Amino acid sequence: MSVNEKLIYEIWKVGNFRNDLLSDDSQEIEIIDTGTHNKDSAGPDFLNARIKFGNITYLGDVEIDTWQSDWKSHGHHFDKKYNKVILHVVVSKDKHQPFVSAKDGRKIHSICLLDVVEGNFHSLLVEAVKSEKQNRKFEMPCYGRNDSVHKKEKLEFLAELGIERLKKKSKRVLDRMKEMIYLKEMNIREPILKYDFGEDYFNRKYSQSQFSDTHIWEQIIYEMIFEALGYLRNKEIMLKMAKSINISFLNNFRTDENFEFIVESALFNVSGIIPQKTKYKEEATTEYLRQLTEVWNSVKHKYDGGYFSKEDWNFFKTRPQNFPTIRLSGGARLLTHFLTNDVFKSLTKYFDEDRTVKEANVILRNHIIIDAQGYWADYYNFDKPSAEKLNYFIGVSRADEIIINVLFPILILYFEIFDFEDNARRVKQLYLNYTQYGSNMVVEQVETTLGLEKASRRSVNYQAMIELFRNYCVKERCLECKIGQKVFN
């Protein structure tokens, strides 16, 4: 039986299961919680499910395949992301076996969905089709009903939300900087699994002087830029990379004429994504890897951080131009530019005077946009040439995202800490009037629903629309929304 897996996911989420389920070894099975649908990253289809086998309840993941053989043909038995799978579900009974094996050798129960669900399977499929169509697009509750709210009122509310979102980002920066100061005082090396701060940390006050070290400002910029370059699927591992290969390590080589390639070599060697092969089809690949290894061998004695593995990265469902390989190379060049040219200091001085939006657009983007150069201009993965030469590692739209979500919140916080009120005002004013390049499906939906054509070109509105959708619309907080209050009251 061949069925679109998206429909199977819908059937699984409904959870209409039989009460008398038995495994092949005669254990009773009770599916307590189907788990959270994993839409954003490679790995099992459902995460953190709770399933009872006999008298023991397990917390883990669920993988759903059409055929039993898909487990091996998709490489799940070699992938450590599937080591937490507690149940394998298949649609077809053809050549079905009671178990599959994880990379760590553990046996995982495998069951057929036809034996699990209650009721007629064809009817369930019909309902799943309806549900899947509905899930493709979330419709805002006020869709087609907000015309009575004046455009001016909508824009005023968006301005409030845009400022609220900016404040949240600055608060996050402040919290992280306090954390860095504290960890440095305690001589704790990052990244670590979790922090166990005592009351001393949460009750302490911080002075201006504790924020005077330029390097901690460079570190927070580095972390937030790398997080932004990771997009949704790789932001966590990119952030961990920035914490591991930190500014303290990089400062050892900051004046080296080969600094840019030292940064790139460190990133790739620590990342774990360099393939363990001896022969490559492309001579350029062989030479590039030789250089990466040679440079890393000359500097790694200064490195005391951790290492990562290829399994930590998500290439799955990622466009080649957004592959981690491209983002690491672009990040290396951007970081080199910031550190060798003291960009943070330059930006703090730049706002000593009022700046027009047009001028700021050009100056700020020129600091972030990175042209594609070197090996990764022609390859998207090791030994895999691109169909077309890449023009940019970091283009205009991603540059604007970094300016809005990284530079502005950090600069405002810096100016507020050191009492440069006029400078902080200038950045906030620029944020309110900055024009942002790029598109976002959520923003497009909000803009259309509210009848505010082209309003998202202003960054404050663009950010506000994301805030509105995520924190009001999808959470059905309509009566806390100033637009919703007028529509539904």
d(CA 314, CA 41): 6
Q: What is the pLDDT of residue 192?
A: 63
From CA 65, how far away is CA 72, in angstroms rounded?
A: 11
Contact status, residue 226 vs residue 246, Cβ threshold 8 Å: no
> Under a CB-based contact definition with an 8 Å cutoff, are residues 262 and 282 in contact?
no
Residues 50, 56, 62, 66, CA torsion sign: negative
DSSP 242-255: HHHS-HHHHGGGTT
Chain-wide mean pLDDT for the chain? Answer: 91
The reported pLDDT for the residue numbered 189 is 79
- Per-residue pLDDT band for 392 (boundaries 50, 70, 90) equals very high
**Backbone phi, psi, residue 135, to 5°:** -75, -15
- In this predicted structure, the answer to whether residue 271 has a pLDDT above a threshold of 90 is yes
pLDDT at 78 over 90: no
pLDDT of 71: 92
CA 287 to chain centre: 32
**How far out from the chain centre does Cα 308 lie?**
17
Query: What are the distances in angstroms from CA 117 to CA 34, 85, 442?
Result: 13, 20, 35
- Predicted confidence band of residue 339 (pLDDT cuts 50, 70, 90): very high
Residue length, the chain?
489
pLDDT of residue 92: 79
Please indicate whether residue 430 or residue 94 has the higher confidence score (pLDDT): 430
CA distance 241 to 410: 20
The set of residues, in sequence order, having a beta carbon less than 8 Å from that of 382 and lying 6+ positions away, is: 273, 274, 275, 280, 285, 289, 325
Q: Is 70 exceeded by the pLDDT of residue 195?
A: no
**pLDDT exceeding 70 applies to what percent of the chain?**
95
pLDDT at residue number 453? 92
Compute how many other C-beta atoms are within 10 angstroms of the C-beta atom of residue 314. Answer: 21
Q: Which residue has the higher pLDDT, 16 or 297?
A: 297
Q: What is the pLDDT of residue 133?
A: 62
- How much is the pLDDT for 276? 86
pLDDT at 439: 78
- Phi and psi at residue 21, in whole multiples of 5°? -75, 135
